[in-house]
Amino acid sequence: MHDIRLIRDDPSAFDAALARRGGEPASANLLALDERRRAIATELQAAQARRNEASKAIGQAKAQKDEATASALMAEVAALKEKMPALETEGGEIDAALEAALAAIPNLPGDDVPDGADEDGNVEQHRWGTPPALAFEAREHADFAGPLGLDFESAAAISGARFAILKGGIARLQRALGAFMLDRQTAAGFTEVVPPLLVRDEAVFGTGQLPKFAEDLFRTTDGRWLIPTAEVSLTNMVREQILAEAELPMKLTALTPCFRSEAGAAGRDTRGLIRQHQFDKVELVAITTPEQSAEVHEAMTKAAEAILEALNLPYRRVLLCTGDMGFSARKTYDLEVWLPGQDRYREISSVSNCGDFQARRMNARYRPAGEQKGTRFVHTLNGSGLAVGRTLVAVLENYQQADGSVRVPEALIPYMGGVTELRPA
């Protein structure tokens, strides 16, 4: 959420930053709403003051037997009482309109974010690892993992498209990946959390999925939302709180199922595990001071990269341009893992610094050390460390063998009870 006071201070700078994200100028409309809101507040305050003053004067006029003055004052008070509810109603409507307008505007990009309209404007930062030189034609996981326990047909019969059933060794491999990631992230200083999977409107609004992206979510009949990512639950743990600076940075991680309708992804990645309605993910969230957030952003990205490196999965880091960032982000790194079956890099993690954008929506603040009264908004960061299903895809494709078996990465063998490869049933 944006602060109308900052927009008021420099509307041209706000519009220029919004233009970098492909948005139309918005300051004029926002400031017009704000001006009308403040005018109504001033008019209402003046009416209340005059009503109180006139009410007192009525008593004085009656005490002096001045019925004409008393009658005139009573008529004035009656008119004010009739006018004030209308002002209050209009003020409430203006407040709602301004809040809705502000809520629909994405976060503004950081100064070091490259300009660009779409993914073609992203900038590669570095690469790690070498794609495997397979002695046979690489296949996509959906084409060879069926005999290993990957079952789309049964899942479709139960739930429809974009669901999967994992059985046997491949199910154990997915479980091993999630446990491995959690162990690594807690060792890196993140506190493990088991959060709610169902959340209220306020929580999804706080992290920026509502109101604009409601169609991408699943909603229950009692009005709750299935989380699209544990970011929602973890970040909202500090909503409407005032933290002590000594508590920051707060670093949290969770392994949860995630649920997405993929409404905007019709026709994309319809085969395989890349884009499912239900998937597991290890989420990383940090709550920091403004001074800490850039450093923590780099550390969180490295924590995600460390998982790929431990699994010996080639990847690249990409700095997203202004046109490819998520709604709440001010700066985002994507990690893209090499998939031999597709012969290209595919996203496996996004790590974003949201600045104080989400904090304003959640009213999440902290009190700087040594200050008794003043508070500041925290900065929030989030990222995948990693998406378990996509990591499973990367392991299957990078460790595939000609006979349809898959080697287990060395780091996962202890989590697999000593199993070193998955073999077709």
Active site residues: 260, 275, 347, 350, 390
348 carries a ligand binding annotation: yes
Q: How far apart are CA 154 and CA 166, in angstroms?
A: 10
Q: Exposed, middle or buried by CB within 10 Å (0-12, 13-18, 19+), for 347? A: middle
Which structure tokens are listed for 42?
Answer: 């001033």
Q: 124: annotated binding-site residue?
A: no
Distance CA(204)–CA(253), nearest Å, equals 18
Before 109, cis peptide (omega within 30)? no
CA 395 to chain centre: 27
Give the pair of three-digit tokens for residue 269: 């990645």
Q: Is 262 annotated as a binding residue?
A: yes
Q: What contacts 87, CB < 8 A, 6 or more positions away?
A: 40, 43, 44, 47
CA distance 360 to 153: 45
Does residue 122 have a known ligand-binding role? no
349 among annotated binding-site residues: yes
* Other CB atoms within 10 A of residue 230 CB: 27
C-alpha radius of gyration, the chain, whole number: 28
Ligand-binding site membership of 229 (annotated) = yes
Stated as kind and residue range, the H or E segment containing 272 is none
Q: Is 382 annotated as a binding residue?
A: yes
How far from 400 is each of 170, 314, 345, CA to CA, in Å? 13, 15, 17
Cα 335 from Cα 345, distance rounded (Å): 9
Q: How far apart are CA 33 and CA 27, in angstroms?
A: 10
Q: What is the token pair recorded at 361?
A: 């929506």
Q: What 8-state DSSP symbol labels residue 128? A: E
Contact of 215 with 261, CB cutoff 8 Å: yes
160-166 — which CB contacts under 8 Å span 24+ positions?
A: 161/270, 162/262, 162/270, 162/275, 162/276, 162/277, 163/276, 163/277, 163/278, 164/273, 164/276
Task: Consult the annotation and say whether 384 binds a ligand.
Answer: yes
Q: Which amino acids are annotated as binding site for ATP, given as ranges?
A: 260-262, 347-350
Known binding residues for L-serine are 229-231, 260, 283, 382, 384
Which parts are annotated binding residues? 229-231, 260-262, 283, 347-350, 382, 384
